[in-house]
Structure 1
Amino acid sequence: MENYSVWADLLHTFRMMSDSVKVLLIYMPGVFALSFAALYLYHLRQHVRPARQEPQPYTILPPEKPAPREHLHPRVETMRNLDSSIRNVERVTGNEGPRC
């Protein structure tokens, strides 16, 4: 009696199937795994709900200030000095600058 191989028999059976069945056999384990992961994450999200916080639409943030030891690029310092100089001139003269 010849040696019987289960793997050879399964491979022969797989080769004889139609293309649509082959596609289903190849893709279904991945689809099942992704579906199971999505269902599991949905289940976790439903049971562990984060505490809801009321939105604060008009939150005032503090002005951006560089750290005390932070060295800025010289051009940034020049632009900040220019802005403060323009504000000082506008405050002294009472003008609001050019209007477009």
Structure 2
Amino acid sequence: MGGKDDPRNHPEARRLRILRRALGFAHSQGAFAEKMGWGQSEISLWENGRRQIARNKVMTVHNRVPGIDPLWLTEGRMDNMSMPLRRTIEEAERAEGASDEEEDI
């Protein structure tokens, strides 16, 4: 997925894509947006690294995703994340890495 300077590789953008995949919305920004109460265009801007996710939106994730540590989305910290969600996110991270490698081929 592009080089290191690609805005899609910004940590918050990548973690939001991983969260969407972990929650079962790998192929649907629109369905994920609906679950969060956001517009699909907002998610697209965040996931493509064109805008930073607003802190109130991070708190929406915290309120709507059981077991999430909001600091994971902004800082990559999983200190207070539930173990089941942590495992699901780690699986989604591996899948994201695998799809990045396929795009580079």
TM-score, normalised with respect to structure 2: 0.27
TM-score, normalised with respect to structure 1: 0.28
Which one scores higher on RCO, CA 8 angstroms, separation ≥ 6?
2
**Greater fraction of residues in helix:** 2
If you compute each CA radius of gyration, which structure gives the higher value, 1 or 2?
1
